[in-house]
Structure 1
């Protein structure tokens, strides 16, 4: 089951069952079968861990049995505005260096997971999250080194602290596609006096530009994906494949990441963890985003997150 948030015109946002080129409105489907659905756009509550999950799954099963109803109620996705599936995550956590080949293409050395730990950083969700189909805006303050990073996003469905790797996936609501847009050479105040930690903060500030975290187009329910380490990943820039990998290549798999973070941070429903990017980023090829580009970030069984690239208005 894949769920999305969407909007038609000025109508209030709704939840729908996502099928790539079409979607079926949740409330319309519920009414068709005499079932009850939420009267809001809280997609998270419709996923595992949410209070409406059982009812939503029942509606989905009815649609699966009645193909005619699904076709009659469907809306082409091209006619609606897809929205960020979880618009206000309490925390937006991301991993750096979780694929060995990506570490190596950036000039580093990958260590075995037993000898290291995941690098985790944050983005401000209210300004970095961008809707499916919404533009990645190249910032006027640093226009020349914007890069892409296709990543598997994990949506937390139940509050947890101190969970083991063996039990960690029980707390996942679902999976989505993230594009961790990164400014590889952001240098605040180029005429500055150099300090010891400048490089670290340059890297961190380069992750925080507005629209630097497109997310979507939907969430794949975790009960439909018992093993998130088997998903093929591919990112295209203007139709050309730049990243082609699998989530099996992660140094720290999803369950290990949740175990690590939950040791010292309480994870809450709606938190999003983006699990790092595989090899094939632009900086390894001296190729960066420019206005007019089109990014297509695809993860098997979830869908394709499309992002046009524009320059910041002056």
Structure 2
């Protein structure tokens, strides 16, 4: 399934929905209150999968997509998790995952504008495969971690590089501004995604290809990452783990986002995002 959250009109609360086989948005609010908490668990998702999709009300008009998950407490990111990105930065492949946090308040819809904060000078893009947690995990092995995956989606790990690495060099500062975490468009359940180890991925800036790679370049795969992170903290339903970016970020080329720029992000099987910078 492709699960979504949408706003029927500007300013209205997000509602749960799904994308049917013809690409139409259908409303799920008669079956779950939101894509959050227990609704993300394996049993709840199986109940949704058993629904007669044609019986679900179609959503009229052009609804705005919100982040495809609600109630996120932890937004965890992984640095230097692609071999090609490590090469372009001249850094060694890490022996174990490099972890940092983004503020949950950075989450945004897949087509929302990315806003350059006051004082920011080096805002960068990072195309990533993100995992949404569906069940509580703590000190989980990889089999338990796999069962805890609610689904996968695209994330743009937008970063302000000077705030990230200048001064005291705290990554949290450079990763957490509002709109710095576009997520979606859909939360795609594991059964539909299948094998995530070799998904084609690309990011264009104003039509120019900046990132073109594959999840085959990933050093630590998603299920291992969930197990590893759970050694140090508890992951709850709705938490997001974004798993690193391939080569082609602006920092490697001395090129950063400016007002009016347009980004498009694609990952095979997960749809696409588009953001305009302002």
Answer whether TM exceeds 0.5 for this pair: yes
Question: In the alignment, is residue 106 of structure 1 matched against residue 89 of structure 2?
Answer: yes
SS at match of 2:5: strand
**8 A contact 1:23–1:75 mirrored in 2:** no
SS at match of 1:138: coil
Find the aligned partners of 1:131 and 1:187 in 2 and give their Cα distance.
23
Question: In the alignment, is residue 213 of structure 1 matched against residue 181 of structure 2?
Answer: yes
Q: What's 2:137 paired with?
A: 160
Deviation at 1:22, TM superposition (A): 4.3
Change (3 A) 1:23 1:165: same
Question: In the alignment, is residue 227 of structure 1 matched against residue 195 of structure 2?
Answer: yes
Q: Which residue among 78, 100, 109 is the counterpart of 1:131? A: 109
Moved more, 209-218 or 145-154: 209-218
Change (3 A) 1:224 1:46: farther
**8 A contact 1:44–1:50 mirrored in 2:** no
Deviation at 1:235, TM superposition (A): 0.8
Alignment RMSD, CA only?
2.5
Deviation at 1:179, TM superposition (A): 0.4
Change (3 A) 1:259 1:85: same
Q: What's 1:41 paired with?
A: 34
Find the aligned partners of 1:141 and 1:103 in 2 and give their Cα distance.
28
SS at match of 1:152: strand
Find the aligned partners of 2:182 and 2:211 in 1 and give their Cα distance.
17
Find the aligned partners of 2:148 and 2:28 in 1 and give their Cα distance.
26
**8 A contact 1:177–1:216 mirrored in 2:** yes
Question: In the alignment, is residue 182 of structure 1 matched against residue 159 of structure 2?
Answer: yes
Question: In the alignment, is residue 117 of structure 1 matched against residue 102 of structure 2?
Answer: no
**8 A contact 1:186–1:205 mirrored in 2:** yes
Find the aligned partners of 2:8 and 2:22 in 1 and give their Cα distance.
15
Q: Structure 1, residues 87-110: CA drift from partner, whole Å, max 9, x if none?
A: 331110000110121122122122
- Structure 1 regions of 5+ residues with no counterpart? 29-36, 191-197
Whose Rg is larger? 1
Instruction: Trace 1:193-212 onto structure 2 (pairs within 5 A).
Output: 198-201=167-170, 203-212=171-180
SS at match of 2:224: helix
Alignment: residue pair count: 277
Question: In the alignment, is residue 244 of structure 1 matched against residue 244 of structure 2?
Answer: no
Q: What's 1:7 paired with?
A: 7
Q: Structure 1, residues 177-227: CA drift from partner, whole Å, max 9, x if none?
A: 100011112389x9xxxxxxx4432x4421222211111111001222342
Q: What's 2:263 paired with?
A: 295
- Structure 2 regions of 5+ residues with no counterpart? none
**8 A contact 2:197–2:215 mirrored in 1:** yes
Q: Structure 1, residues 109-167: CA drift from partner, whole Å, max 9, x if none?
A: 225xxxx11011111112x111121111111212x211000011101111111122244
Moved more, 161-170 or 13-22: 13-22
